[in-house]
Structure 1
Amino acid sequence: MTRAILLVLDSVGCGAAADAADYGDVGADTLGHIAEACAAGRADREGLRQGLLRLPHLDALGLGGALRLSTGRVPPGFSLPPATASWGFGIERSNGKDTPSGHWELAGTPVDIPWGYFPTKNPCFPPAFVATLLAEAGLTGILGNCHASGTNIIDDLGEAHLRTGWPICYTSVDSVLQIAAHEEVFGLDRLYDLCRIARRLCDPLRIGRVIARPFVGVSQADFRRTPHRKDFAVPPPPGTLFERAAEANRSIVSIGKTGDIFAHRHTGTELKGADNDGNLDHLLDALDTVADGGLMVANLVDFDSDHGHRRDAAGYAACLERFDDRVPELLARLRRDDLLVITADHGNDPTFRGTDHTREHVPILAHCTARGPMSIGRRDSFADVGASLAAHLGLAPTATGSSWLARPASRA
């Protein structure tokens, strides 16, 4: 038997989708623009990184080829060597450009219903919603009630939160309600309980996620978010890759915020590190222990949360380079029959306007020594990833998607 590993590099998109205009994202290109910023010296930072974007191990797997196939160009720092893995790119079919829709589609279940969103006006939350939230949570008020960047609003309102005890509630162009509160003063369990109330109240509004955003510090000068973020998502549609693996009694390991994204439905053993490196460590440990037939899914969120939303091209580039440094370590842990798929769930171009996700294609790199490189090409749904992993594991097909493993093998 064999194993499957899905590694989602959160927000590492590779070029604007054909429908990007519907989302205000024409011209977005996360990887391409980061590479161009590095080549122009705009992503240099003393003590962090400088020069061209250097991702030699991902490039060897075929990332340069995936970028050219997606956008028609090879960005600076990438090349077209004979790929050691299969490569291509995926197009999102789901509505939106959020984390749940991207992950659910990768797992074989695109989102065809429209998400609900909070309006851009301030205050943005319906008065009846706020009144019920306050009453059920025993609160006298909230702060924020607007569209905002998560890091900026904590800087702006963190001290007021400490004075009043009121949680900071905000949203974005995504289908989300985020609630920030001091982990020690407000209390982590109390924040989670508040988010559970908000989750129930958001259900009729079709809001995809409620996110707890704990932070620590005593003033604007030292506020920082902690690793204890928790997502409260609506359940995914039936027929996911996770569900198929659970039906077959396979071992399942979910790493990072994966369990939260799938509302803990069939997500098996859940492990969460403090950062990308911590989550990669969990994945490496799982590769040493998970039995044949097992499924491992990991999300690496630092690209998105620490750098994409903050429009930090230098930090994003350094984060990519740090991940690339660890790719050989990851490949060395794979068994001959293991299938590793490295992809993303959406874009978050740090050179683009605003602070939100961007509607983009995603690269797909698939490595399996026993199978060798195969042609992946353009995939018209992220669901093809889930379908291919299910086929590799010999599981019942996912709800949607077409496996590239069903195609005759060819040199990528």
Structure 2
Amino acid sequence: MGKISLLILDGFGIGAMDDCAEVKPEDMNANTYKHLRAATKLHIPFLYELGLCRLVDNEGEPKAAYGKNNLAHHGADTYMGHQELMGSKPGIPQNRFMNDVGDHIKKCLEEEGCHVSVPIEGGSILLVNGCIVVGDNLESSPGNIINVVCDLNQITFEEASKIGRVVRSCVDTSRVIVFGNKKSDIVDILSAVTKKNGSQWGVDSPKTNVYGEGYHVLHLGYGVDFHKQFPYIAEANHVPVYRIGKTADVIQASGFKDPVVETKDVLRTYRHHYRKAEDNAVFLVNVQETDLAGHKQDVNWYKEVLEVSDRFIGEFIKEMSDEDVLFITGDHGNDPTIGHSNHTREQTPLLVIGEKITPVNLEVRTTMADIAATMAELAGVPQPEYGKSFLKEIKRA
């Protein structure tokens, strides 16, 4: 096999899912790509010629295998989208607040031998072993995530992660996030506890100075087992996996990772390691600034990031060997014109490029996990738990 790459344009959708009326009615008119094109002089000729021409405008002859992905995960979530892309079928989570589940979490932790207290009278956060705060995530959609914020001066991240897994086992929110940094001790963490929206109690993470160098994070998704995902299976079969950009934080693997954010740095890091890597290497690359621009509702920033990515793709394709394969997709939508700053539940484009790839119509895939299944077959490793490979449809005889 040659090198296998998955380039994820975070938040790049091409039209609302059919189930939006029931699942996310506020997204019924979302179309990230079309609305960007209408609002700006967006110029992404390589992506257009690869397949957007047919997927969006039903014209032209695509140069890549092309199709659309439906989202199998509930809602439109970056973390869950990436788990699906890696071959998981995430469960349907529930919105929970510490006001509702705090007592149950406390009981679960005490049964595991932890000392648990309520450090703020009238609040719903928990203090575990004097060095971990469990509370609502204040940055995501309300009720979506429980945070486990740890003082790494008192506890190792591995020990904190074990406590995070206990929390994960007793709550059905979309995510439990374990994180910390030696720059932030328990005094800093407790001083950043905030009440929000009348019912949420949690740590205002940016105020703790937790991010940046020394930051440790573990995302624990509902219904997700990374042991059954493509990256874990690939590494278990001696296939090296490189995670560049946001994939370094949200995808579990043990090989190279660099959580770089700026697009030019993401693409430069990708190209550098691609040129040096073994022929059987796998690259999982996320361009995050598209998503950040969507959250900011900044159409011009989004346009600039897409155009930088498009120029890179046009140049990069020329460097691929005859055996190499590049998959391009999104993880959900993030329409900056829709009227809100959240992710939008949209289909994502599916483009597959390679000298030995036939430019066929892959139609609408039931799940983004089909990409993981196809990468696994390309790599010659066992299949992930979810997804159906389309390699036979695209591989030249």
> Shorter chain as normaliser: what TM range?
0.7 to 0.9
Report if aligned partners of 1:66, 1:88 keep a CA contact under 8 Å in 2: yes
Deviation string 1:309-364 (CA, Å, 9 cap, x unpaired) is: 12222221222122222222322332221110010111111112332211110001
Kindly state the Cα deviation for residue 279 of structure 1 after the two structures are TM-superposed.
1.6
Kindly state the Cα deviation for residue 187 of structure 1 after the two structures are TM-superposed.
9.3
Q: Matched residues in 1 for 2:233 and 2:264: separation? A: 29
What is the identity, as a one-letter code, of the residue corresponding to 2:78? T
CA-based RMSD of the aligned residues comes to: 3.8
Q: Matched residues in 2 for 1:383 and 1:169: separation? A: 27
In structure 1, the partner of 2:145 is: 176
Q: Matched residues in 1 for 2:236 and 2:385: separation? A: 14
Q: Matched residues in 2 for 1:125 and 1:270: separation? A: 37
Report if aligned partners of 2:64, 2:360 keep a CA contact under 8 Å in 1: yes
Q: Matched residues in 2 for 1:230 and 1:9: separation? A: 24
Which residue of the other structure, out of 285, 296, 302, is the alignment partner of 1:310? 296
Runs of 4 or more above 3 Å deviation: 123-133, 135-142, 177-180, 186-203, 211-215, 223-231
Matched, 1:11 2:28: no
Q: Matched residues in 2 for 1:175 and 1:191: separation? A: 26
Q: Matched residues in 2 for 1:116 and 1:189: separation? A: 33
Q: Point out where structure 1 has 5 or more consecutive residues left out of the alignment.
A: 39-51, 70-79, 146-166, 181-185, 216-222
Matched, 1:386 2:387: no
Report if aligned partners of 2:17, 2:345 keep a CA contact under 8 Å in 1: yes
What is the identity, as a one-letter code, of the residue corresponding to 1:34? L
Which residue of the other structure, out of 278, 283, 287, is the alignment partner of 1:300? 287
Q: Matched residues in 1 for 2:365 and 2:281: separation? A: 25
Report if aligned partners of 1:14, 1:29 keep a CA contact under 8 Å in 2: yes
Evaluate the alpha carbon distance shift between residue 271 and residue 344 of structure 1 in structure 2; reply closer, same or farther with a 3 A threshold.
same
Q: Superposition pairs for residues 11-410 of structure 1, below 5 Å?
A: 11-21=11-21, 22-24=23-25, 25-38=27-40, 52-68=41-57, 80-111=59-90, 113-118=91-96, 128=103, 169-170=137-138, 171-172=140-141, 175-177=144-146, 201-207=167-173, 208-210=175-177, 231-234=217-220, 236-237=224-225, 238-262=227-251, 264=252, 266-304=253-291, 306-407=292-393
Q: Matched residues in 1 for 2:153 and 2:37: separation? A: 41
Evaluate the alpha carbon distance shift between residue 331 and residue 179 of structure 1 in structure 2; reply closer, same or farther with a 3 A threshold.
farther
Evaluate the alpha carbon distance shift between residue 141 and residue 337 of structure 1 in structure 2; reply closer, same or farther with a 3 A threshold.
farther
Report if aligned partners of 2:164, 2:178 keep a CA contact under 8 Å in 1: no
Report if aligned partners of 1:341, 1:364 keep a CA contact under 8 Å in 2: yes
Q: Matched residues in 1 for 2:42 and 2:28: separation? A: 23
Q: Matched residues in 2 for 1:309 and 1:188: separation? A: 31
The alignment's TM-score, normalised by the length of structure 2, stands at 0.74
Q: Matched residues in 1 for 2:32 and 2:178: separation? A: 24
Q: Matched residues in 2 for 1:256 and 1:137: separation? A: 36
Q: Matched residues in 2 for 1:101 and 1:169: separation? A: 16
Q: Matched residues in 1 for 2:381 and 2:298: separation? A: 41
Among the aligned pairs, what percent are the same residue? 24
Q: Point out where structure 2 has 5 or more consecutive residues left out of the alignment.
A: 125-134, 184-206
Deviation string 1:145-188 (CA, Å, 9 cap, x unpaired) is: 9xxxxxxxxxxxxxxxxxxxxx99503157324699xxxxx999
Kindly state the Cα deviation for residue 269 of structure 1 after the two structures are TM-superposed.
1.5
Report if aligned partners of 2:228, 2:385 keep a CA contact under 8 Å in 1: yes
